[in-house]
Structure 1
Amino acid sequence: MRARLALLVAAVSVLIVIAFLVPLALLLRTAAVDRATVRATADAQSLAPVVGTADPETVRLTVEQLAAESGRPVSVFLPDGDVLGSHSPRTPAVELAGRGQSLTAESADGREVVIAVQGRPDGTAVIRTVVPYAEMTAGVGRAWLVLALLGVLLVLIGLAVADRLARNLVRPIDELSAVSHRLANAELEARVQPAGPAELREVGGALNHLAGRIQELLVQEREQVADLSHRLRTPLTALRLEAESLRDPQDAARITDAVDGLERAVTGLIRQARWRTPTAGAASTDAVAAVTDRVAFWSVLAEDTGRAVELDLAPGPLPVAVPADELAAAVDALLGNVFAHTPDGTAFAVRLAPGGDHVMLTVADEGPGIAADSVRRGASQAGSTGLGLDIARRAAQASGGRLELGERPGGGAEVILRLGRATGTPEPQTRASGSPVR
């Protein structure tokens, strides 16, 4: 904010300086041009008595003397066509002055001054001189430089004054920002010492009140989470007992695994709700093992619905920077969409391959395709929750990757999940056969 205040003051100062100095600079230039023109006109008019009465030789000597003293070309056009002094063509201004009208005109060499001299017995003579651009702008550049330095000095003084005034305003704001960042990092004991203008003191008090309220809400939330944990584990225990009572051992093992996976998912959700998140950057999962496990789980449903599954996995391990449970949820979300949004019998393929700094997981099917905005959280074209693709997207972004939607060349949807590679040792992969996320 301090920099923005300085920028604002600088912008205002520059505008004020420009508003005053630019017209002054133009006025100086106009005055210099007028001064040079008046001086040249006076020199030319001083020849008028000689040109009107003297013989050509006297006029020639006087013209040459004036040209040498002034440093400007001076020409006299006599009525008989002779040109005395500097040789120059008869310009339109000279032709007009020959009719008895004195004037000034712009030319390629500078400002042309022509004076008509009447009274000669043979007609009207014309005195012509040219004021070069260098003479008209002499001293203007130096004056502009002085004005520019003065303007810069005024802007710097304004910035210095504004900086001292803004310092007292910005210091309390910096303290507010520091405390807010500490609160964001779960340092809920952080408080701000209200200071500065009345508005900032009020904001500081509000921030302290907010921090206290957050502590109260977190205590209530933890109590509710603890109660939720107890209430969910009771029906899960009942489900496990029911599964163990099944006569078919395979069905019993499959349902028990599903209940275990659901219990792990509930435990993970409770842990996240209690702010017990793992250290950032510590997660590393073998993508080959995770994808193999989830495809094996979905293959049972694929066989029941008549779907052909094509699995193409690169040799492992391929560690990615995603926790095992989040990667499993992302794969379940992609495969669950295939089953939810394509008719029975639709084949799909799962491919996993390294690609530079990423590991690319591709799920393609032969269904009707997928809308480009389906990755938006809550967006669904088939009446579902619209969270599946967003779960996969967030898992990819957390690892430094991204989610890409496309279409297969022969029709159907193709979803590519680019997962960032991990450098640590992958977490041991446990069989997570719980209910998929849809």
Structure 2
Amino acid sequence: MVALAFLIPLGLVVQQLARERAIADAERQTAVVVAVLTVTTDPLAIERAVASTGGPAVTRVSVHNLTDDGTEIGTGHAAPGDLARAADQAAPVIAEVRDGLSYLEPVDVGSGRTAVVEVFIPETELSSGVAGAWWALGAVALGLVIASVWVADRLAAKITMSARQLAGAASALSEGYLDVRTIPQGPRELAEASFALNVMADRIMALLSNERELVADLSHRLRTPLTALRLDAETLDDSQDAERIRDAIAALEVEIDKLIRAMREPIDAHSPAPDRSERGDGAAPTTSGEGCDVAEVVRDRMMFWSAVAGDQERDCKAVGVDEPAPVTVQKSELAAALDALIGNVIRYTPQGVPFEVTVTRRDDGYIVLRVEDGGPGIPDPERALQRGESDQGSTGLGLDIVRRVAIEGNGTVNIGTSATLGGASVVIVMADADPAPEEQPTTSRFGLVGRLSREPGEGRSRWRRKPS
């Protein structure tokens, strides 16, 4: 557009120059005739002077009022009024005539007479070369436009390529490819953003490595007091309580060893992070190829917690653990979730408050694990399920473990009020790992939780306090 703004005035200037050139040629022709008129008014001499101008312009020269009787030489084009105006002004006049212009030059020939020399300038002379100039300027303008578009396209492509590279690197980093790096290029802003992304990726790698080393070191430090506990437990007698303590210490040693080995493994910067887009809650995806029996896990863990409940004079029972209830959740994960729920009952309800664990294998392809107690309940279930949120002064991670286990089992978790015991009721819904063909689930897991909330008594054994 800037080029066009300059080319249009340039074309107008070319047109004006052509006009001025034609008028200048007419002035030169007039000067020859005027020089003769100042000497003589003889028509033959004037004709020879006109002929001496040469070329096709000879036919365009005429002389008016040469003698008293109005003798003229050549063919005139100007109107009588224009001739009289030129004679009166005693100065050259340019008059517009048909198909062009007439240049009129007055000449005093003596005896009070003024002759007027006329040179006709046709329209073709006024615009001679203008069309070619416009075509040339148009070609230049077109070339400038094409060149500017090509240069703009190259610059835009360079900027776009840099932006796409930066966006791709940021997307890969967000998916967990920690080894992704970019080459700072393009405009200064994009180059600085690429450099900042590289620095951020390096810091993430360093922070993850430091965190893993810290967790591994802390886990390793736990071995010393744990070893002391194991040695003390070996000195105990062979009672049931001593055996329970030794089993708990052995299980704790196994978990610490797993944690240390996991933290000592190098970070795989080439692998993507777990796909959490479909879950939208930060939970890990379902672990395929491993599972457990819910009933077996409940039986094992209730052997431990029943002894603790007996020490606190709590009534406890497990219902529905005689039949298998397979799920896709790992046994250690489900045991940790169940321990978290029962541990909350033991820790945050008064001594003597009963609790019950129920396992139900439903016909619609889901298995329900329900933990109920007779305590004060959970006033804000939604907040309780948020990681790190607790009103009891704890870490707030117990119910978050329960939530993640439910999602790992392709299910969900619901917190409500127990209809039988009056306290909290935590329901974990998990997909059946081996459903019968005619028992494929036909409703969503959220609809199941809704029915469980509306039908609290279904699948439960009512609580009966033992006689004191």
Sort the TM-score into its range (normalised by shorter chain). 0.5 to 0.7
| Contact 1:288–1:317 under 8 Å retained in 2 | yes
Instruction: Give the number of aligned pairs.
Output: 263
> Does 2:245 align with 1:246?
no
User: What is the identity, as a one-letter code, of the residue corresponding to 1:330?
Assistant: A
User: What is the identity, as a one-letter code, of the residue corresponding to 2:350?
Assistant: P
Question: Per-residue displacement from partner, 1:116-158 (whole Å, max 9, x unpaired)?
Answer: xxxxxxxxxxxxxxxxxxxxxxxxxxxxxxxxxxxxxxxxxxx
Instruction: Say which structure, 1 or 2, has more relative contact order (CA 8 Å, 6+ apart).
Output: 1
> Does 2:394 align with 1:384?
yes
| Contact 1:245–1:252 under 8 Å retained in 2 | no
1:310 alignment counterpart: 317
User: What is the identity, as a one-letter code, of the residue corresponding to 2:431?
Assistant: G
2:349 alignment counterpart: 342
2:410 alignment counterpart: 400
Question: Aligned partners of 1:338 and 1:385: how far apart in 2?
Answer: 15
> Does 2:297 align with 1:290?
yes
2:430 alignment counterpart: 419
* 177 and 421 in structure 1: CA distance in 2 versus 1, 3 angstrom threshold: farther
Which one of 351, 360, 375 corresponds to residue 367 of structure 1?
A: 375
Question: Aligned partners of 1:299 and 1:276: how far apart in 2?
Answer: 41
Alignment of 1:23-422 (within 5 A): 171-183=161-173, 187-274=177-264, 280-313=287-320, 315-355=322-362, 356-371=364-379, 372=381, 373-410=383-420, 411-422=422-433
User: What is the identity, as a one-letter code, of the residue corresponding to 1:204?
Assistant: S
User: What is the identity, as a one-letter code, of the residue corresponding to 1:412?
Assistant: G
Note the C-alpha offset of 1:210: 2.0
Question: Aligned partners of 1:289 and 1:328: how far apart in 2?
Answer: 10
Question: Aligned partners of 1:266 and 1:190: how far apart in 2?
Answer: 33
| Contact 2:216–2:264 under 8 Å retained in 1 | no
Question: Aligned partners of 2:160 and 2:265: how far apart in 1?
Answer: 33
| Contact 1:225–1:274 under 8 Å retained in 2 | no
Secondary structure of the residue that 2:419 maps to in structure 1? coil
| Contact 1:312–1:351 under 8 Å retained in 2 | yes
Question: Aligned partners of 2:327 and 2:263: how far apart in 1?
Answer: 24
| Structure of greater Rg | 2
| Contact 2:216–2:263 under 8 Å retained in 1 | no
Secondary structure of the residue that 1:192 maps to in structure 2? coil
| Contact 1:286–1:316 under 8 Å retained in 2 | no
Question: Per-residue displacement from partner, 1:3-60 (whole Å, max 9, x unpaired)?
Answer: xxxxxxxxxxxxxxxxxxxxxxxxxxxxxxxxxxxxxxxxxxxxxxxxxxxxxxxxxx
Note the C-alpha offset of 1:187: 4.0
Secondary structure of the residue that 2:210 maps to in structure 1? helix
CA RMSD for the aligned pairs?
A: 3.3
Question: Per-residue displacement from partner, 1:53-83 (whole Å, max 9, x unpaired)?
Answer: xxxxxxxxxxxxxxxxxxxxxxxxxxxxxxx
Q: Runs of 5+ in structure 1 lacking a partner? A: 1-162, 425-438
Note the C-alpha offset of 1:212: 2.2
Question: Aligned partners of 1:342 and 1:222: how far apart in 2?
Answer: 35
* 222 and 367 in structure 1: CA distance in 2 versus 1, 3 angstrom threshold: closer
Aligned identity (percent) is: 45
| Contact 2:298–2:318 under 8 Å retained in 1 | no
Note the C-alpha offset of 1:316: 4.2
| Contact 2:299–2:321 under 8 Å retained in 1 | no
Question: Aligned partners of 1:299 and 1:166: how far apart in 2?
Answer: 72
| Contact 2:287–2:408 under 8 Å retained in 1 | no
Question: Aligned partners of 2:172 and 2:224: how far apart in 1?
Answer: 38
TM-score normalised by L of structure 2? 0.50
User: What is the identity, as a one-letter code, of the residue corresponding to 1:362?
Assistant: R
Question: Aligned partners of 1:360 and 1:169: how far apart in 2?
Answer: 56
Secondary structure of the residue that 1:409 maps to in structure 2? coil
* 246 and 189 in structure 1: CA distance in 2 versus 1, 3 angstrom threshold: same
Question: Aligned partners of 1:257 and 1:190: how far apart in 2?
Answer: 46
